[in-house]
Structure 1
Amino acid sequence: MPAFNAASTIRETVSSALNQTYRNLEVIIVDDGSTDQTKGVAALLVQGDPRVRYVYKDNGGVASARNRGIAEAQGEFVATLDADDLWYPTKLERQLERFEQSRPETALVYAWCCWIDDHGTITGSAPPMRLEGSIFAQMCLGNVVISGSNALIRREALIAAGSFDESLRSRGGQGCEDWKLYLQIAERYAIAMVPEYLVGYRISPGSMSDDFKQMMQSRRLVEAEFVAAHPALALQFARGRTILARSLALRAIDRGQIRDAIELLTSQSRGRLTTGIATLAWLLGGLTRRSLRWMRRDNSSANNRFLPMRRSCHVAD
């Protein structure tokens, strides 16, 4: 669990890991140079459960913190969990069951993600993807795993794939470290999934994914490496870049950042009138669909929280 100035959320996040129905686990908190009360909160968590360990390191970014945790981990399987996200209690149990049901070359199992806000209220969910097996080509479009708090990975496969790329931060492209790692795993191994919403992915203003320019730069850096090795998939990667730009543009509009939204969209259609018109039509349709979803959510489950007693995000549609 990489943690940087996470004192306000880490207690709830660690609790969601310790309350897993699968009990044979260790929780390694890697404090990435926090300047708030993260260390004090972590100390109480360590005292409260022998399965919790605390490691401090100088600030080096989320990839270096995750890699430090992987180096410290002792289990056959590794799961990363960001210090503000939440796990549904059966998350690890269901993923381990899926490993047992899958072929031996399966290296990663993912589930579905809900979006949650600062209060833990569910604000939406990722599309229920059912991609399994050899899905490297599909992964080139985008990160089907969605969140760095989702995947359960065989440790030996994770190490063989190269762990998280710490250089993206120094190259001004922090943000797609998890997607790059999952691509490297998908190149070599099979992927499996659990068709249930088991992860609460917190979307907060100021998060790494809110730095739209950095996210696009991160995508380009990762894409360039894989296109060089797989030139036949260049078009697939380009399509995925457009999908990411549109997704970030919708989020920018939600935040009232209209200029950022326009820049994201025009960067993908510059000099191509047909593509620009198609992008505008898609954006208008997407905004309409999003407005309808928000109206339905406000009318039916405005207080729905990602908690064990509320199963609306857990049960597959």
Structure 2
Amino acid sequence: MRGIMVGMGNVSVVITSYNQNEMIREAVDSVRRQKLRPDAIIVVDDGSTDPASVQVLDELEQADDITVVRQGNAGPSAARNVGIRAARTDCVTVLDGDDRLLPTFLETTVGLLDGDASAVAASGWLRTFGVLDAVVKPTGGTIADFLPRNACPATFTFRRTVWETCGGYDESMRCGFEDWDFCLSLLAAAATAADTTATGQEPRIAIAPEPLIEYRTAPATPNITSMTTRLETMRYLIDKHHAAYAAHLTDALLGIEATSIARLNLWERTVREHPALLESQPDSRAFMASPTYGDGGMAAAVRLRS
């Protein structure tokens, strides 16, 4: 697969918005502060009904450097597709209206795409704010790395040609994880088009090892609420991307198992440091009274009692 040489500024930023009031202005301002200025800033409003949000959008629409597109509420996937379709650049960055880019995001992600023909998309680490103050470090990688879990933030820069090839965001997904599905679709489409025998490299999503995104955290955000339907959504993803899961079955299963082991070990270490949790927490008491079998649970219980 030949990479597109993006070139300085050959990127549009698509910001999706739904009843986000002043947060959408913060997102726009973070794009304006980029060291690498984009060719276009496209705000797609997904049917906002809140008067304060509509007013902010009206004000943004008056700016010379902003294009505001309005549509009836159809979900984030549809809004992103509308914005990407309106872009006229080789690459596109998608940004949720309640998040912000740090000043070097475009410079870094466009640079990653320019420097690596196997990279179909690029992003960076997340610096969270709001409820959680942390740095989250997704790893990116090839399609095998994306089968156990999503390995890229929803905010990322990608080659527009691959978006066209894969069919864009799945507009039927309105309950979360549409960004995970899109990453799988991008990588699968790129792999189909790629001549890996010539390059020796599989298509991948590159992640800069530094915070490039300010990610707002709150209990009611889709990223949190979508966890209640995670298994149902994963079944949809596995069925939709069955060929990739079948081709990398061992990687997918071991990746999920590695996450399970890591979380069990974290719980065990926490209980060791705070032994009162074993008696004070009903879930912990129930686990110790009847440890799970076949997943390392019984071994953890034996270690704790020892």
- Map of 1:148 onto structure 2: 154
- Map of 1:124 onto structure 2: 134
1:1-317 → structure 2 map (5 Å cutoff):
1-36=15-50, 37-47=52-62, 49-103=63-117, 105-117=118-130, 123-127=133-137, 129=139, 131-132=140-141, 135-145=142-152, 147-149=153-155, 151-169=156-174, 174-187=175-188, 188=191, 189-211=203-225, 212-238=227-253, 243=259, 273-275=293-295, 277=297
Question: Secondary structure of the equivalent of 1:108?
Answer: strand
Q: Which has the higher strand share?
A: 2
TM-score w.r.t. the length of structure 2 is 0.72
Please give the alpha-carbon distance, in whole angstroms, between the structure 2 residues aligned to 1:106 and 1:163. Answer: 17
Question: Secondary structure of the equivalent of 1:94?
Answer: helix
Letter in 2 for 1:179: W
Q: What is the identity percentage for the equivalent residue pairs of Structure 1 and Structure 2?
A: 28
1:66 CA drift (Å): 0.7
Mapped contact 1:88–1:198 kept (Cα < 8 A)? yes
Question: Secondary structure of the equivalent of 2:249?
Answer: helix
- Map of 1:259 onto structure 2: none
**Structure possessing the higher radius of gyration over alpha carbons:** 2
Query: Structure 2 stretches of 5 or more lacking a match?
Result: 1-14, 192-202, 267-282
- Map of 1:297 onto structure 2: none
Please give the alpha-carbon distance, in whole angstroms, between the structure 2 residues aligned to 1:13 and 1:43. Answer: 15
Question: Secondary structure of the equivalent of 1:144?
Answer: coil
1:31 CA drift (Å): 0.9
Kindly provide the CA deviation profile for residues 135-162 of structure 1, in whole angstroms up to 9, marking residues without a partner as x: 11111121111x212x110111111122
Mapped contact 2:60–2:68 kept (Cα < 8 A)? no
- Which contiguous aligned blocks of 4+ residues in structure 1 show a shift greater than 6 angstroms? 278-281
1:163 CA drift (Å): 0.9
Question: Secondary structure of the equivalent of 1:34?
Answer: coil
Distance 1:9 1:24, change over 3 A: closer
Please give the alpha-carbon distance, in whole angstroms, between the structure 2 residues aligned to 1:200 and 1:241. Answer: 27
1:6 CA drift (Å): 0.7
Question: Secondary structure of the equivalent of 1:274?
Answer: coil
Mapped contact 2:124–2:210 kept (Cα < 8 A)? yes
Query: Structure 1 stretches of 5 or more lacking a match?
Result: 251-261, 285-317
Distance 1:237 1:168, change over 3 A: farther
Mapped contact 1:109–1:152 kept (Cα < 8 A)? yes
Please give the alpha-carbon distance, in whole angstroms, between the structure 2 residues aligned to 1:148 and 1:167. Answer: 17
1:73 CA drift (Å): 1.2
1:279 CA drift (Å): 10
Q: Higher mean Cα deviation, 227-236 or 212-221? A: 227-236
Mapped contact 2:16–2:45 kept (Cα < 8 A)? yes
Letter in 1 for 2:81: N
Please give the alpha-carbon distance, in whole angstroms, between the structure 2 residues aligned to 1:107 and 1:33. Answer: 31
Question: Secondary structure of the equivalent of 2:95?
Answer: coil
Question: Secondary structure of the equivalent of 2:181?
Answer: helix
Q: Higher mean Cα deviation, 53-62 or 24-33? A: 24-33
Mapped contact 2:138–2:207 kept (Cα < 8 A)? no
Mapped contact 2:130–2:216 kept (Cα < 8 A)? yes
1:168 CA drift (Å): 2.3
Q: What's the Cα RMSD here?
A: 2.9
Distance 1:2 1:279, change over 3 A: farther
TM-score w.r.t. the length of structure 1 is 0.70
Please give the alpha-carbon distance, in whole angstroms, between the structure 1 residues aligned to 2:33 and 2:112. Answer: 20
Distance 1:8 1:214, change over 3 A: farther
Mapped contact 1:30–1:65 kept (Cα < 8 A)? yes
Mapped contact 1:4–1:32 kept (Cα < 8 A)? yes
- Map of 1:290 onto structure 2: none
Letter in 1 for 2:135: S
Kindly provide the CA deviation profile for residues 170-225 of structure 1, in whole angstroms up to 9, marking residues without a partner as x: xxxx2111111111222323332322210111111111122222233222211222
Please give the alpha-carbon distance, in whole angstroms, between the structure 1 residues aligned to 2:181 and 2:19. Answer: 25
Please give the alpha-carbon distance, in whole angstroms, between the structure 2 residues aligned to 1:66 and 1:94. Answer: 22
Mapped contact 2:44–2:68 kept (Cα < 8 A)? yes
